[in-house]
Structure 1
Amino acid sequence: MKNVLTLMAALFLLARPMAQAQDADSIPKHLNWEFKAEKKGEKEYTLHFTGKIDAGWKILSVAMGDDELNTRIVFDSLANTRAKIVTLTENPAPQEGYDSLLESSVKYHQNDVEILATIRFNDSVKDLRGTVSAWIADNAEVFQEDAQFTFSADASGNLTGEQGWFKTNTAAANELKRPAIDMQNPVVKAGGILGDGNAWLMFVFGLIGGLVALFTPCVFPMIPLTVSFFTKSAQDKKKGVFNASMYGFFIFLIYVLFSLPFHAVGLVDSAIFNNISTNVWMNLIFFTIFVVFALSFFGLFEITLPSSFASKADSKANRGNLIGIFFMALTLVIVSFSCTGPLLGSLLSGASVSGDGQAPILLTAGMAGFGVSLGLPFALFAMFPGWLSSLPKSGGWLGSVKVVLGFVELALAIKFLSNADLVTHWGILHRETFFLIWIIIGILTTLYIFGVYRFPHDSPVKKLTPVRIVFGLLFGLFTLYLIPGLTNTKYSRLKLMSGIAPPLSYSWYGKDAANKGAVEPDVINDYEKALALAKEQNKPILIDFTGWACVNCRNMEENVWTDPEVHALIKDNYILVSLYTDDRKKLPEDQQFKYVGPNGKSKDIVTIGDKYATMQTVNFSNQSQPLYALITYDEQLLTLPVGYTPSIVEYANWLKAGIEGWNKVKKQ
């Protein structure tokens, strides 16, 4: 609990695409393996694993006699059904000696080792995948170092070994890079991807989050105390105003500084934010964190950073200069984390939704807005100390604010669970189920605000204040607004929930029942089929790079594509193919491969999402969704691609430009 903020930062470092292979040089290795196979008879082979060991290191033998510390050859689950290891030997014979770290006698190799595995196939000879799991040690440490391998079978029954679980497939890689798509020469100079100004919107969200945090028990009581300290301890009023202003500025600066490491992470891996927003495990982790935050707000326990953090900051805050003021601001940021942490988590997850290189900028914009809202009041109240008397007194209402925030965090947690459900197609959180849970949360929040029930730590609500009535009505009206989402009517299309709730097609009532008026793709996740269909019908293609967990994609589908003019332009003039870049369904084994890009970096193409996310990047130099491109069936680019375009007029004009380009191509 105490390290939640650290955990959330670490998530960004760990959230690399699950199936993406890392560069060989990016992970320290003390063993280098070569893999060869020798045919010994029908369905029988000897696999040679030749390892070169770094000087000063040793590899533990396969004959250690310890099931935990011996070096092993492990086939993956599918390979285990195809073949079994008959014998396992090594060359040369292992040395034997006492190891001070393990405090026992060990068998080991130094410099070079060759492990020979005699295997027998159960049926026909097929590809094998597995791992050499080796224990290595020097004088200071001992750990396990794994190397993945693949033995590929050809038509003659010969096996060829290489490092990694996936073969480098030039033909499959060429299918991803479509040379006919020329981004420099569209038929019509229309479209283009421009910045959509989301940084300012994120700044506003940050402002709102900071204002909410201001009225929490961790922050609100600090305003009069801190301002009084600065104004009374200073030699004159001017000095007191300056100190308090710097205090507010440093609060702002600290929150901005918190976002800087994520810029570095984004430079290391530009796909990391997209992976955060769509990766199943990341969404489940965020779901868990937000549930924990909600339970904390309900008063079940307190989330704090380690007390040593606050103690160290507070010990340096006694200095009577700007450094001391900075550490006073840092102390406030640390001790208020139990209230601000969940709100900061919302900003982190909100920034990741952009899914591209803009995410770090959005995070900084959100943090800046949060810091302004939190730091500005300290400066203003120092300049105008008379305002302090107008502040409401701290009391039980602050606890009520935390509980309401707990319900909000619980609703946000359901959104992350929904993301995981959508990309895996579990079917546990359909659109109507999502609305039902939110409606229940809305009812509970409304009843709580009106004092119908209370938590053990709450004071009784003796009188409904105007503020309580206003917020109770707002939550109640919003809950009523959600109710049509449970129905199979035209009213189920709730614009405010576009991109938040699951898509209309992910419904209790079936794919088409609640989706009347929307544009259904002609083809889903099959680009080659779309090309063939377009040629057959003599139409151009609208490529829709989308995602199950993509908020802006749902906004386009439910608010722009449903416009009668846009709907007609797409259905009458284009073959629409939707390619889901976050689809976690695995490709058939013979279609999985290692893609090596022009920069030499490799990526394992394992899922449908891997395939089409890579295709989008290598052909259109863009990783954000949605992305729309108009091409002919021989892949001539009709216009420049466009991204999120909420303006119906702009999007319709872009589609018309594509039709103009198609007519030019037909004349040629």
Structure 2
Amino acid sequence: MRFSLFLLTLLWSHVSLFSQTDVSPAVWSHEVNKISDTEYELVFKGKIMDGWHVYSQYTAEGGSLPSEFTFEKAGEDYELVGQTKESETIKEYSEIFEVEETFFKKEAIFTQKIKLYSPEVRQISVNLFYQICKEVCIPMDFLFQISLDGKAFVDEEKQLDERSLLMNESLQIDLKNKALLNQGGLQDSKGKSNLWVIFSLGFLGGLIALLTPCVFPMIPLTVSFFTKHAQKKSKGLANAMLYGFFIVLIYFLLSIPFHLFESVDSQILNTIATNVWLNVFFFVIFIVFAFSFFGYYELTLPSSWANKMDAASSKVGGGLGIFFMALTLAIVSFSCTGPILGALLGSTTLAAGDVATNLTAGMTGFGLALALPFALFALFPTWLNSLPKSGGWMTTVKVVLGFLELALAFKFLSNADLVGHWGLLKREIFLGIWIFLFLLMTLYLFGFIRFSHDGPKGRISSVRKVLGLLSAGFTLYLVLGLFNVTSLKLLSGFPPPDFYSVQQKDSDCPLGLDCFKDFEAGVAYAKEVNKPILLDFTGWACVNCRKMEENVWSHPDIYPLLKNEYVLISLYVDDRKELPKEEQFDFQFESGRIKAIETVGQKWGTFQTINFNAASQPYYVLLSPNLELLNDAVQYVDVETYERWLKSGLEKHQLSMNR
């Protein structure tokens, strides 16, 4: 959970990079009241959505973050007269922070008087930092651009220069037949099934978490508490069911902030997930998690958190008390569930589709698996007698998870390596590391390697032998893949792509195909040879892009079409290679927001968003050399669908040539 909270905090910090959007929980406006030629009253008004609240400037220290105004050039162009006044607020004691907090609901009004040093000052910029809360708390920024004379505010620093204006125009292409994009004929055939897969993986993660020493012993204790301490059996059963429901709810709520991120900016989650240094951070965190599973140290959340939640559950009682009991379980079990949740968070950023929806599915599955035993054993208390005793087998579970965490850690380092073009983890090196890790896991399962927290050496159980054989088989599979005896299709997207090899390939395009990595160059060639274009929005760290290339593009019915009939243009939206200085520019969206385009990935990600209203990868578009859409766009689909789609595009291109 600590990992989850840290990541949420890290991601929320990016919200301040963006202006207010139509979906913001608070909508801000301002008024200017003239008192004299040099004195003005500035009024800042916020309309707050139902259920949300914004904290006062004067809320107590030690609690939630207060609102804070920054008056730019105060002391240079003007002075502040008195303190910023506020409209009516609400005071409420916080059990968590143990202070009385002050906040606004529905509406917040701030008033500040200023005195100009010179009547020639005509505009003022004021930045408001505030925290707005509902189920989650979001720190946000809003910039007030105030004109004192009623004329349009002119921000000279944010005006696009002539070169940026020209680059803005060049980034928007004249698509013909654009209505095809909205027809939705060939949809992502994997979308819904992908959610079920992620839900199932989350559920599996929850089942594994149940087998760990932090959770397993809690099952009989908690169920016995509900069944024995209730005056009626039905009441104890209802409490246990409610306890299970709250466990699911807590893990579900952890995914809610990610939906707000996507509403702020369509590319923010992709940008964060493919950020080089965030992937390195993931790598370090997973290494830390792995060695905690190996028993070298224990990761725990502050004990005061658990104590406060436990005290709250005893104090309030009823349904709210049961909620705090569930929250206490989540905190206490962190040392075992945290690394598994971290793996779940990481894997959802690698999956196809909407990241936030994927995360909700995975978190809900995890919480459901964790809650299920408490409800089932409350329904059938005699089953408690059949539970295995706690023992050394739980240590084995933790060590195996440690090896899996290490393997996943190198996947994130590989992402950073690919996106950053470091050339450190080529395909052969990556596979070699995985072979070494799974060989060590095999040796551990068969008892040849031991850790400090393992119990006395005894007979290897049948289950452990079966796991050892599976690990050995997987290791052999990796060895065969390393020497190209097998294709490793089961792992498509996890190892680096085939062309990212120690042995230099003739092409750095997928499967050795000829491809262009610049849109204009690709279109020029398509016009020269009069072939249709396959526009491929992809990413270096995109797992499902690799799956499409290795499982669909490589198919004997697909590969000849790509090689002989289409001009392939592959645009990498996560490429962090810096554009030459003369190609960097500022792009202004229709909303007025300005975004600096400094890297190759930023250029092609923005290009995809403004022309195709999409921000996910893989994303495939068929175009004629004259930029006429030949079919609707597709994403992650099967071989038959993709072949039908490609052939349909060819037929339409042929018809247009015969007109």
Q: TM-score range by the shorter chain?
A: 0.7 to 0.9
Q: CA deviation at 1:256?
A: 0.9
The alpha-carbon distance between structure 1 residues 189 and 242, as it changes in their structure 2 partners (threshold 3 A), is closer
Counterparts of 1:16 and 1:499, CA distance in 2:
30
Instruction: Give yes or no for the alignment of 1:256 onto 2:256.
Output: no
What's the secondary structure of 2:575's corresponding residue? coil
Counterparts of 2:9 and 2:119, CA distance in 1:
37
Deviations 1:165-204 (A, max 9, x none): 9876122111211123442057999535577112222111
> In structure 2, which of residues 166, 190, 198 is the aligned counterpart of residue 171 of structure 1?
166
Instruction: Give yes or no for the alignment of 1:486 onto 2:527.
Output: no
Counterparts of 2:170 and 2:230, CA distance in 1:
71
Counterparts of 1:474 and 1:253, CA distance in 2:
35
> In structure 2, which of residues 630, 641, 650 is the aligned counterpart of residue 659 of structure 1?
650
Deviations 1:310-369 (A, max 9, x none): 01110122254222222111111110011101111122222223576x211111111110
Q: Normalization by structure 1: what TM-score?
A: 0.77
Assess if the C-alpha contact under 8 Å between 2:4 and 2:345 holds in 1. Answer: no
> In structure 2, which of residues 294, 299, 302 is the aligned counterpart of residue 298 of structure 1?
294
The alpha-carbon distance between structure 1 residues 166 and 408, as it changes in their structure 2 partners (threshold 3 A), is farther
Q: CA deviation at 1:529?
A: 0.8
Q: How do 1:626-637 residues align onto structure 2 when only pairs under 5 Å count? A: 626-637=618-629
Q: Which residue of 2 aligns with 1:548?
A: 540
Q: Which residue of 2 aligns with 1:138?
A: none
Counterparts of 1:203 and 1:266, CA distance in 2:
20
The alpha-carbon distance between structure 1 residues 263 and 28, as it changes in their structure 2 partners (threshold 3 A), is farther
Q: Which residue of 1 aligns with 2:336?
A: 339
Assess if the C-alpha contact under 8 Å between 2:267 and 2:605 holds in 1. Answer: no
Q: CA deviation at 1:5?
A: 3.7
Counterparts of 2:427 and 2:261, CA distance in 1:
34
Instruction: Give yes or no for the alignment of 1:495 onto 2:489.
Output: yes
Counterparts of 1:447 and 1:455, CA distance in 2:
12
The alpha-carbon distance between structure 1 residues 586 and 409, as it changes in their structure 2 partners (threshold 3 A), is same
Counterparts of 1:458 and 1:166, CA distance in 2:
66
Counterparts of 2:546 and 2:416, CA distance in 1:
16
Q: CA deviation at 1:611?
A: 0.9
Counterparts of 2:437 and 2:478, CA distance in 1:
11
Counterparts of 1:32 and 1:167, CA distance in 2:
28
Counterparts of 1:204 and 1:219, CA distance in 2:
20
Amino acid of the structure 2 residue aligned with 1:348: L
Amino acid of the structure 1 residue aligned with 2:652: G
Amino acid of the structure 1 residue aligned with 2:323: F
What's the secondary structure of 2:644's corresponding residue? helix
What's the secondary structure of 1:382's corresponding residue? helix
Instruction: Give yes or no for the alignment of 1:615 onto 2:607.
Output: yes
What's the secondary structure of 1:564's corresponding residue? coil
Counterparts of 1:218 and 1:463, CA distance in 2:
25
Q: How do 1:496-511 residues align onto structure 2 when only pairs under 5 Å count? A: 496-511=490-505
Amino acid of the structure 2 residue aligned with 1:537: V
Assess if the C-alpha contact under 8 Å between 2:190 and 2:636 holds in 1. Answer: no
Assess if the C-alpha contact under 8 Å between 2:301 and 2:334 holds in 1. Answer: yes
Q: CA deviation at 1:240?
A: 2.1
Between the aligned residues of both structures, percent identity stands at 49
Q: CA deviation at 1:6?
A: 2.5
Amino acid of the structure 1 residue aligned with 2:72: L
What's the secondary structure of 1:604's corresponding residue? strand
What's the secondary structure of 2:212's corresponding residue? coil
Unaligned runs of 5+ in 2: 22-27, 30-67, 83-114, 121-142, 144-154
Counterparts of 1:329 and 1:378, CA distance in 2:
11
Q: How do 1:39-438 residues align onto structure 2 when only pairs under 5 Å count? A: 52=77, 55=80, 162-163=157-158, 169-185=164-180, 191-192=186-187, 196-197=191-192, 198-318=194-314, 320-354=317-351, 358-438=354-434
Q: Which residue of 1 aligns with 2:11?
A: 12
Counterparts of 2:578 and 2:332, CA distance in 1:
45
What's the secondary structure of 1:55's corresponding residue? strand
Assess if the C-alpha contact under 8 Å between 1:218 and 1:338 holds in 2. Answer: yes
Counterparts of 1:32 and 1:640, CA distance in 2:
51
Q: CA deviation at 1:623?
A: 0.3
Assess if the C-alpha contact under 8 Å between 1:276 and 1:352 holds in 2. Answer: no
Assess if the C-alpha contact under 8 Å between 1:166 and 1:604 holds in 2. Answer: no
Q: CA deviation at 1:287?
A: 0.9
Assess if the C-alpha contact under 8 Å between 1:521 and 1:578 holds in 2. Answer: no
Counterparts of 1:308 and 1:428, CA distance in 2:
43
The alpha-carbon distance between structure 1 residues 651 and 355, as it changes in their structure 2 partners (threshold 3 A), is closer
Counterparts of 2:338 and 2:387, CA distance in 1:
24
What's the secondary structure of 1:451's corresponding residue? coil
Assess if the C-alpha contact under 8 Å between 2:621 and 2:633 holds in 1. Answer: yes
Deviations 1:71-116 (A, max 9, x none): xxxxxxxxxxxxxxxxxxxxxxxxxxxxxxxxxxxxxx995899xx
Counterparts of 1:373 and 1:529, CA distance in 2:
51
The alpha-carbon distance between structure 1 residues 262 and 113, as it changes in their structure 2 partners (threshold 3 A), is farther
What's the secondary structure of 2:452's corresponding residue? coil
Counterparts of 1:420 and 1:53, CA distance in 2:
47
The alpha-carbon distance between structure 1 residues 416 and 52, as it changes in their structure 2 partners (threshold 3 A), is farther
What's the secondary structure of 1:169's corresponding residue? helix
Counterparts of 2:366 and 2:184, CA distance in 1:
40
Q: CA deviation at 1:524?
A: 3.1
Unaligned runs of 5+ in 1: 34-49, 58-108, 115-146, 148-159
Assess if the C-alpha contact under 8 Å between 2:537 and 2:572 holds in 1. Answer: yes
Counterparts of 1:179 and 1:328, CA distance in 2:
59
Q: CA deviation at 1:205?
A: 0.8
What's the secondary structure of 1:184's corresponding residue? helix
Assess if the C-alpha contact under 8 Å between 2:191 and 2:352 holds in 1. Answer: no
Amino acid of the structure 2 residue aligned with 1:347: L
Q: CA deviation at 1:4?
A: 3.7
Instruction: Give yes or no for the alignment of 1:559 onto 2:551.
Output: yes
Assess if the C-alpha contact under 8 Å between 1:193 and 1:641 holds in 2. Answer: no
Counterparts of 1:213 and 1:112, CA distance in 2:
67
Counterparts of 2:78 and 2:478, CA distance in 1:
63
Q: Which residue of 1 aligns with 2:62?
A: none
Counterparts of 1:317 and 1:200, CA distance in 2:
34
Q: CA deviation at 1:492?
A: 4.7
RMSD between superposed Cα atoms in Å: 3.1
Deviations 1:527-561 (A, max 9, x none): 11111111111111110110000000000111111
Counterparts of 1:195 and 1:53, CA distance in 2:
59
Assess if the C-alpha contact under 8 Å between 1:443 and 1:476 holds in 2. Answer: yes
Q: CA deviation at 1:248?
A: 1.3
Deviations 1:570-622 (A, max 9, x none): 11211011111111111111110001112211111111111111111111110
Counterparts of 1:493 and 1:441, CA distance in 2:
20
Counterparts of 2:160 and 2:70, CA distance in 1:
18
Q: Which residue of 1 aligns with 2:523?
A: 531
